[in-house]
Structure 1
Amino acid sequence: MRDLISKFRIKSGFYKLKQEIKKISRKNKSVSLKAAQYIGILVTVKDQKQLDEVEEVALELKKANKKVRLLAFTSDLTLKLTSNNNIELISNEDVDWNFIPKREKIINFVNNEFDILINLCTEICFPLVYITALSKSLFKVGAYHKKNSAIYDFMLATQQQSISGFNTELKYYLDKIK
């Protein structure tokens, strides 16, 4: 029964997302990692180890003189940020019953015009899919999922499950864009 309710909630969220996508138009263009100045990152974080990985990714980009803003979805509200790298944590408290993000910090993230928006989730996390779809970013990048192919400008099929592993693969290909 719980599974059925969850499927209904997600289906309702995807229906609402399709309605929202019809209302927007955006300009898109391929942007290399080298050329990007402002990078947005979305990721699902399950534990402190993953949060530390994400903070390391953000720090690495900052060292390369990139402005980075990161939004991490978590169900563990006890996680602690070890640095202030423009990382914001969101949880189920920040989404409606159909998993649609509702807080102002999320809306502000969507309205940023990042040069590249990177979704580091290797599994579908609907709130982050929603944010990606409505983002005004020039170039949207993420893991390959057939269901989300209309949302991204570049998708990478990967076997990586770790954040840092997927990030390394993604950087390899983003560095090849001219």
Structure 2
Amino acid sequence: MILKGFREKSIKKRINKLLSERYVNVSDNKVESLGIIFNLDEVNDFEQFNTLSSYLKVLPNRLKIIAFSSNKKETLKSWDICYNPDDIAWNGLIKNSELQTFLDTKFDVLISYYEADITELKLFTALSKAQFKVGMLQADERLNDLIIKTSLTEFNVFKNEIFKYLTILNKIKNE
């Protein structure tokens, strides 16, 4: 129990360091690549993210989706790329090479689709090299560049709001 608390505090310290060093550079580059992080414990329908991708005019081969579950390996049957707390070391370093590759990818937009206050999910968002980060309202507002205040059950509202704001920011391709 003491080690779990130490691990949590160590990861939060790393998140704070990453967020304090982050330089936000909002450019008018068009959205061509999209990364999505979601909590498998909160969202069952991950096909909705493919719909969101096509709505934002992102090609399917430029979309990467990862899931996180607090449960251990039992949820892997329902989703191919699912990570859990075992994939993160006590000091916030990533132990899984596939997850590290996702986080190192310079997506044009990263969508953090989760409401739960889970340290590992916040770490993924903070570690991501994405140029522009969009997410749900979190306790720590430094995680995302654009925050959309909806509930997880209102995916169509979330989708329309993302499209609206990315259009305003001139990030959607006009075709």
> How many percent identity over aligned positions?
21
For normalisation by structure 2, the TM-score amounts to 0.74
**8 Å Cα contact 2:76-2:82 kept in structure 1:** no
Q: Say if 1:54 and 1:163, in contact at 8 Å, map to a contact too.
A: no
1:126 alignment partner AA: T
Indicate the RMSD between aligned Cα atoms, in angstroms. Answer: 3.0
Q: Residue 35 of structure 2 contacts residue 110 of structure 2 at CA under 8 Å; is this kept in 1?
A: yes
Once the two structures are TM-superposed, the CA of residue 70 in structure 1 deviates from its matched residue by 0.7
Residues 25, 92 of structure 1: CA spacing in aligned structure 2 closer, same or farther, 3 A cutoff?
closer
Q: Is the 8 A contact 1:44 1:73 kept in 2?
A: yes
Residue 168 of structure 2 aligns to which amino acid in structure 1?
K
Work out whether residues 38 and 114 of structure 2, in 8 Å CA contact, stay in contact via their aligned partners in 1: yes
TM-score w.r.t. length of structure 1: 0.72
Among 120, 124, 129, the residue aligned to 2:117: 124
- 2:14–2:92 CA contact under 8 A, matched in 1: no
Letter in 2 for 1:45: L
Please, which runs of 5 or more residues in structure 2 have no aligned partner? 171-175
Instruction: Provide the aligned length of Structure 1 versus Structure 2.
Output: 163
Q: Deviations over 1:117-157 (max 9, x none)?
A: 1101122222221121122111011112242x223211122
Q: Distance in 2 between matches of 1:136 and 1:55?
A: 24
Offset of residue 61 of structure 1 = 1.4
Question: Which aligned pairs between 1:26-175 and structure 2 lie closer than 5 A?
Answer: 26=23, 28-30=25-27, 35-46=30-41, 50-51=43-44, 53-62=45-54, 64-66=57-59, 67-74=62-69, 75=71, 76-81=74-79, 88-97=81-90, 101-147=94-140, 149-158=141-150, 160-162=151-153, 164-165=155-156, 167-168=158-159, 169-175=161-167
1:110 to partner: Cα distance: 1.2
Question: Which deviations, in whole Å up to 9, do the C-alpha atoms of 1:81-140 show, x marking residues without a partner?
Answer: 4xxxxx621122212346654211111111100000110112222222112112211101
**Gaps in structure 1 of 5+ consecutive residues:** 82-86
Contact 2:36-2:64 at 8 Å conserved across structures = yes
Give runs of ≥4 in structure 1 deviating > 4 Å: 4-8, 24-27, 97-100
Q: Kindly tell me: are residues 27 and 99 of structure 1, through their superposed partners in 2, closer, same or farther at Cα, counting changes over 3 Å?
A: closer
Residues 176, 130 of structure 1: alpha-carbon distance in 2 compared, 3 angstrom cutoff: same
